Copies of this chain bind each other. A is one copy, B any other.
Amino acid sequence: MVQKFGGTSVGDPERLKAVARRLVAARESGLQVVGVLSAMGKVTDDLIALSHEVSPLPEPRELDMILSVGERISCALAAMAINDLGHRAISLTGSQAGIVTDTSHGKAKIVDIRAHRIHEALEADQIVLVAGFQGVSTDFEVTTLGRGGSDLTAVALAAALDADVCEIFTDVEGVFTADPRIVPEARKLAVVSYEEMLELSASGGKVLMLRSVEFARNHGVRIHVRSSFNDAEGTLVTSQEELMEQPIISGIAHDVSEAEITILGVPDRPGIAAAVFRKLADESVNVDMIVQNVSAEGHTDISFTVPKSELARIDPVIEEVAAEVGARGVQQDSEIAKISLVGAGMKSHPGVAADMFDALAEAGINIGIISTSSIRISCVVPAREVERAVRVVHDKFRLSESVVLAEEG
């Protein structure tokens, strides 16, 4: 089995020893065990800060040489602790573990896993610790995988090693119906489908990064998200087919990291929307929700959301594109939040959207942009209302109570 431990789970020597005990316990239960570790606490942040002290815009190849060390330290320390527990362990860098990536430093994609060294170590009865978040490129350079990279390492190894399950130990107990800090009565989900998890992650859910879930779905890797602080069962992320029940609603995610932009009075001609979003794509702007109103008098408004962190950079681009298409003007609103209701069962329940809008209306919360997928409804609400919005929707669907199942069909 593959067990992955995040930064807070390996935050200090005592917690590292606890990780060692957990890996040993898994080994003693008769399983072959591969551990994937993140860097300790703030190690990677400190290394980034140090790099920026030396260079305002660090060379990506060299930054990867530096950022890859934190996970190696964690793994070697855990291997020492496991040896002290009377078991044999070996730590491997991403390169030694055979994690082969493309050459995009800082956001490399895994292209192959050549796990012969892991297999050899497992055959030799060793617990294998693999440094997360990194690999070796096809050019033999050290690469890092970007945000959520250690989860991706774990899921990819679980796929390559044909592991029964990839356990992701984290500082929360699993996936909840809503953020428990906002909704104290939020319920932990026993199981959630890849598709629902994808929607939750894409909608601001912090537990798993989108790309790990995508990789898990594409390779059929079952993920068990659980707490590194206790032994409680967490949340199993698996395929729709494996779910015993299909709840109408699985959970609510929210996201306060985006801003809303509206281009006003755009001439309603074919190709205008394409022109706008091609330009934004060329500037690598990560556009999320897009809504175009119906036309009135030959003009329309186009609204979309973008990460707030990119606003300063993309502002001139938007002004330029608005002028090009002959728009009347541009409006920006950073004080927004997105709340998303996710559930595989909502496909066959047309009333869900109406119920959600009702709940918000009853609470006097104004809805801006709306967008939907077959298993998700997202609404933009004022940022100051987001916590209340999450609570009223959570209440409306009685998500803290036992699961409401969708009917067959």
In the bound complex, do residue A77 and residue B62 qualify as a contact, i.e. CB atoms below 8 Å apart?
yes
Supply 10 further A-B pairs (C-beta < 8 A) apart from A59-B80, A65-B72, A66-B73.
A13-B53, A17-B54, A50-B77, A51-B77, A55-B84, A62-B77, A63-B76, A65-B76, A65-B93, A66-B76
- Alpha-carbon distance between A81 and B52 when the two chains are bound, in angstroms: 10
A61 interface residue per 8 A CB criterion: yes
B53 touches A80 (CB 8 A): no
Chain B proximity mask over A81-117: 1 for CB below 8 Å, otherwise 0: 1011000001101001000000000000000000000
Q: Does A270 contact B (CB under 8 A)?
A: no
Number of interface residues of A (CB under 8 A): 34
**Secondary structure of the A contact surface, majority rule:** helix
Q: Is A47 among interface residues, defined by CB-CB distance under 8 A?
A: yes
- Within 8 Å CB of A17, what residues of B? 54
In the complex, A1 has a CB within 8 A of chain B: no
Asked if A83 contacts B59 (CB within 8 A), the reply is yes
CB distance from A80 to the nearest CB of B (A): 4
With both beta carbons as reference points, the residue of chain B lying nearest to A58 in the complex is identified as B80
Q: List 5 A-B contacts (CB under 8 A).
A: A47-B73, A55-B84, A59-B80, A65-B73, A69-B72
Q: How far is the CB of A121 from chain B (nearest CB, A)?
A: 12
A276 to B96, CA, bound (A): 46
> Do the beta carbons of A81 and B54 come within 8 Å of each other?
yes
**How many angstroms from the CA of A65 to the CA of B56 in the assembled complex?**
29
**Chain B neighbourhood of A80, CB < 8 A:** 51, 54-55, 58-59, 62-63
Instruction: Say whether A79 faces chain B, with CB atoms less than 8 Å apart.
Output: yes
A16 within 8 A of B: yes
Task: Determine if B54 and A16 form an interchain contact, defined as CB atoms under 8 angstroms apart.
Answer: yes
Docked Cα-Cα span, A84 to B51, in Å, equals 12
Measured CA separation A79–B58 after assembly (Å): 9
Interface flag for A342 (CB, 8 Å): no
